[in-house]
Amino acid sequence: MSIPQVKAARLPGVLLAVMVAAVLAFAWSGTAADPDLWGHVRFGQDILAARAIPRADPYSFTSDRPWINHEWLSEAIMAAAYGLGGSAGLVGLKLVIAAVAFAILWRALRRAGVHPPAVAGLVVAGAVGAYGLMLTVRPQLVSMLLYVVLLALLNEAWRGRCRALLWMPLLFAAWANAHGGWIVGIGVLAAWGACAAVAGRVPPAWAAGSVILALAGTLVTPYGTGLWRFLWETVGFGRADITEWQPASADAAFLAAWAAAASLVAIAWHLGRRAALPLLVPAILVGVAAFRVSRLGGFFALTNVLLLAPCFAGRGPARLPLSRAPTARDLLAVGALCLAGLAAIAAAIQGRIGCVTLALPGPDEQWAPEAQAVQFLRDNPIRGRLLTYFDYGEIAIWHLAPRVRVSYDGRRETVYSEAVQQAHRRFYSKSPNAEYARQLGADYIWLPHRLPVVGLLERDGWVAIFRGASSIVLARAEGAYTQPDPWTGPRCFPGP
């Protein structure tokens, strides 16, 4: 008994889509915490509780500038997800954002005329390139989603539907309140608009007007033009103390991901030559920026997959061929295998979705302090000013505020002047100023024990009240403190 040929011809494409979705779902289900997660959720909880965005920082005793929280919308969403389901809620939020982004990506590629087999390959390429954005739960996820929406709208305008550009004010209003990645979006929009106008794909008035409308949308924030001033003063390529802000050449994995994304530019040029230039120019500009700042690598990959979609349109087979028409028995067997595979992946995901792990793989894994240090600080009567390591600040805020205020945390320039940031970097450096602790009037110090300043502090009279595998807590004087038992549970957010 055979099934209609029309439906049979679509079967390989359906199976391919299911396979891609299953593999991506499994890859995305593993989630790690980054040092800012504690702060993002806590600050979002504060916003939801107060129904207002704080302008003054209550968590640090060295903050010396008004708090420009340009990620407040993302933090409120993260706090709501955590309130609904704890760590599982955060992982669920990440999976929903990723699923929506790649569903839009799939649909946009199909609307651009890319055949399903090529769509599957391009979606996988985009997912691999953007994997770093999806490893953690942070505002960059929202930026990724909105960037995909932007590129999809640009594809619509490229095909003659200029009215798609009228969505720019709403898109950028949401983006400016969620994450600073909208700057990349504005740059891509401006470059694409100029190239599309020169190529005759979009009237110049529409191209220029879309940029003006997008910029107007970015003013719809609690800070108005103050957000522009803040980003003008703080955004740049130089952040030597953050791995993600290093050039792609500084890490083999970043360089490999960048090269893989760049290969799509080469393929698009090979397919389109001069006709592809209007689309290649914005992609190359993003590629140059991504080479200088590794964290833009995901945006580079998504740019090449979606913005260059017209170059891949109509290439390759329209569908995967069948050697013969499948019978009902074949269809039943394939369906059973698909269900079994999906069930196996669902079981694997279930074991991972409830835990946002506290250690990142690779060279950055030492950022997370041991569980005993968190237990010690939380369970002992420690109050006052805590001089903190950069990566420990928001963990301390989560577990110890308001009885303890920190000296430094991952918010950086949003609450700290450049002078405060430089002073802390010198304190962490190979040539530290041990007097800085007394200058700040710190009551306690929490640092990785590998920092050179630790020995200087102890020689200066600071007393170690806790020594762990990776960190140390120092006090001005000895005291009666309870030492924690070894931690035997899983290390999941929020810890210990």
Q: How far is residue 471's CA from residue 466's CA, in Å, rounded to a whole number?
A: 8
Return the pLDDT at 3.
43
Among 274, 297, 312, where does a domain finish? Answer: 312
Calculate what percentage of the chain has a pLDDT beyond 90: 62
Each residue's pLDDT tens digit, 439-460: 999 999 999 988 999 999 999 9
Statement to judge: residues 414 and 291 lie in one domain: no
Statement to judge: residues 292 and 393 lie in one domain: no
Write down the pTM of the prediction.
Answer: 0.91
Statement to judge: residues 284 and 369 lie in one domain: no
356 belongs to a structural domain: no
**Which two three-digit tokens encode residue 216?**
């107007």
Alpha helices per DSSP H over 443-487: 453-459
Please state, rounded to an integer, the average pLDDT across all residues of the chain: 88
Return the pLDDT at 20.
75
| Total number of domains in the chain | 2
Residue 12, pLDDT above cutoff 70: no
CA angle 364, 368, 370 (to 5 degrees): 135
Statement to judge: residues 302 and 425 lie in one domain: no
484 belongs to a structural domain: no
Q: What's the average model confidence in pLDDT over 320-331?
A: 69
Least confident of 86-90, 407-411, 417-421, 488-492: 488-492
**Residue type at position 35:** P
Angle between helices 168-178 and 72-111 (to 10 degrees): 140
Residue 25, pLDDT above cutoff 90: no
336 belongs to a structural domain: no
The residue that leads in pLDDT, 372 or 132, is 372
Q: How far is residue 277's CA from residue 196's CA, in Å, rounded to a whole number?
A: 10
Residue 203, pLDDT above cutoff 90: yes
Return the pLDDT at 94.
93
User: pLDDT tier at 327 (50, 70, 90 boundaries)?
Assistant: confident
445 belongs to a structural domain: yes
Cβ-Cβ contacts under 8 Å for 460 (sequence gap 6 or more): 434, 435, 437, 438
Return the pLDDT at 272.
81
Alpha helices per DSSP H over 273-322: 277-292, 297-302, 309-312
Q: How far is residue 102's CA from residue 113's CA, in Å, rounded to a whole number?
A: 17
The three-state secondary structure class of 417 is coil
The residue that leads in pLDDT, 339 or 283, is 283
Residue 368, pLDDT above cutoff 80: no
User: pLDDT tier at 254 (50, 70, 90 boundaries)?
Assistant: confident
Return the pLDDT at 240.
56
Return the pLDDT at 2.
42
Return the pLDDT at 242.
66
Return the pLDDT at 437.
93
Statement to judge: residues 305 and 372 lie in one domain: no
Q: What's the average model confidence in pLDDT over 409-424?
A: 93
168 belongs to a structural domain: yes
**Residue type at position 244:** E
Statement to judge: residues 213 and 88 lie in one domain: yes
Return the pLDDT at 362.
43
Calculate what percentage of the chain has a pLDDT beyond 70: 92
Cβ-Cβ contacts under 8 Å for 248 (sequence gap 6 or more): 254, 255, 257, 258, 290, 291, 292, 294, 297
424 belongs to a structural domain: yes
Q: What's the average model confidence in pLDDT over 206-215?
A: 97
Each residue's pLDDT tens digit, 142-151: 999 999 999 9
Q: How far is residue 460's CA from residue 414's CA, in Å, rounded to a whole number?
A: 32
Q: What's the average model confidence in pLDDT over 353-374?
A: 73
Statement to judge: residues 294 and 233 lie in one domain: yes
Q: How far is residue 127's CA from residue 375's CA, in Å, rounded to a whole number?
A: 37
Statement to judge: residues 386 and 294 lie in one domain: no
Residue corresponding to tokens 């700057």: 183
Statement to judge: residues 287 and 379 lie in one domain: no
Q: What's the average model confidence in pLDDT over 2-31?
A: 67
How does DSSP classify residue 236? S
Residue 324, pLDDT above cutoff 60: yes
Statement to judge: residues 275 and 133 lie in one domain: yes
Each residue's pLDDT tens digit, 108-139: 999 999 988 889 889 989 988 898 888 899 99
Residue corresponding to tokens 């994450």: 179
The residue that leads in pLDDT, 27 or 191, is 191
Each residue's pLDDT tens digit, 61-99: 999 999 999 999 999 999 999 999 999 999 999 989 998
Return the pLDDT at 414.
92
Residue 189, pLDDT above cutoff 70: yes
CA angle 277, 279, 282 (to 5 degrees): 105
Each residue's pLDDT tens digit, 33-46: 999 999 999 999 99
Statement to judge: residues 209 and 272 lie in one domain: yes
Each residue's pLDDT tens digit, 280-321: 999 999 999 999 988 899 999 999 999 999 999 887 777 766
Range of the domain at 147: 5-32+68-312
Residue pair 290/300 in contact by the 8 Å Cβ criterion: yes
208 belongs to a structural domain: yes
Statement to judge: residues 268 and 119 lie in one domain: yes
Each residue's pLDDT tens digit, 464-496: 999 998 999 999 998 899 999 988 888 889 988
123 belongs to a structural domain: yes
The dihedral built from the CA positions of residue 200, 203, 206 and 208, taken in this order, carries a sign that is: positive
Residue 271, pLDDT above cutoff 50: yes
Least confident of 1-5, 189-193, 239-243, 284-288: 1-5
Residue 475 burial by CB count (10 A; 0-12/13-18/19+): exposed, middle or buried?
middle
Q: In what order do the strands lie in the sheet with 471-475?
A: 404-406, 384-388, 444-448, 471-475, 463-467
